[in-house]
Structure 1
């Protein structure tokens, strides 16, 4: 009985790690996708200046690739977090803590917002200048 609980806890911890991994990769892809357009606009709006901000436009040709990769990882992360039904986990393990799930969900939603901003920047960016 104890062996089965240990196996279930390991499987659940692996599921939690995979969901977090998908969320991390989706967020990284979203940051790269928004690096050419959204990030410079936000930095300039906050008063941050410098010649290095103009070099961020070098990411523009790679924007479709970054968006595609980010969307794939975000879809996998949302599926893992919201639709995948893992085995119940044991008390005292990482998967039993709700904070890990909240961080993963927050990363997924922030990544989704960044991808949407990067996709629609041509429509709303002219309002700022």
Structure 2
């Protein structure tokens, strides 16, 4: 194997990709409700903001994607050490601890975004 290309390849056992995907899907799930609120709070207005409500029918699919990606990331973060390769990301204790912290922080962000239609109503009342 060529060591030059091995250094440039992405680690497949890293939980980063499902976590990033989960947060992006959570942003998609909150576009219908939190998107207009955030834009208005930033002073951005216009009639086009109402078009973000078109994402509302897609919300359950985004939520399912968020849950699926975070379940996958959680499995990657908390899997047993014997399933990790010797040179893998999950075999180093500092990387495992950092991955757990990042996993729970991104899970919290995703939960806030996904639940935004419910708590934004109370915030705006």
TM-score range, shorter chain: 0.5 to 0.7
Length, aligned pairs only:
113
Which residue does the alignment assign to 1:88? 86
Aligned residues of 1:23 and 1:74 also touching (Cα < 8 A): yes
Query: Which residue matches 2:50?
Result: 54
State the partner residue of 1:31: 27
User: In the TM superposition, what whole-angstrom CA distance separates every residue of 1:106-127 from its partner, at most 9, and x where no partner exists?
Assistant: 4763354234442352244232
Contact 2:29 2:59 in 1 (8 A): yes
Q: Which residue of 2 aligns with 1:79?
A: 75
Using a 3 Å threshold, how does the CA distance of structure 1 residues 84 and 120 change in structure 2: closer, same or farther?
Answer: farther
What TM-score do the two structures reach when normalised by structure 2? 0.67
**Root-mean-square deviation (Å):** 3.5
Pick closer, same or farther for the CA change 1:70–1:117 going to 2, 3 Å.
same
Ranges of 4+ aligned residues in structure 1 off by more than 6 Å: none
2:109 equivalent among 106, 113, 117: 113
Structure 1 residue runs of 5 or longer lacking an equivalent are: 4-8
Aligned residue among 63, 66, 69 for 1:70: 66
Verify the 8 A CA contact 1:38 1:117 in the aligned structure 2.
yes
What aligned pairs does 1:7-22 form with structure 2 within 5 A after superposition? 13-16=11-14, 19-22=15-18
Structure 1 length as normaliser, TM-score?
Answer: 0.65
Secondary structure of the residue aligned to 1:13 is: coil
Q: Which has the higher helix share?
A: 1
- Of the three residues 36, 55, 69, the one matched with 1:40 is 36
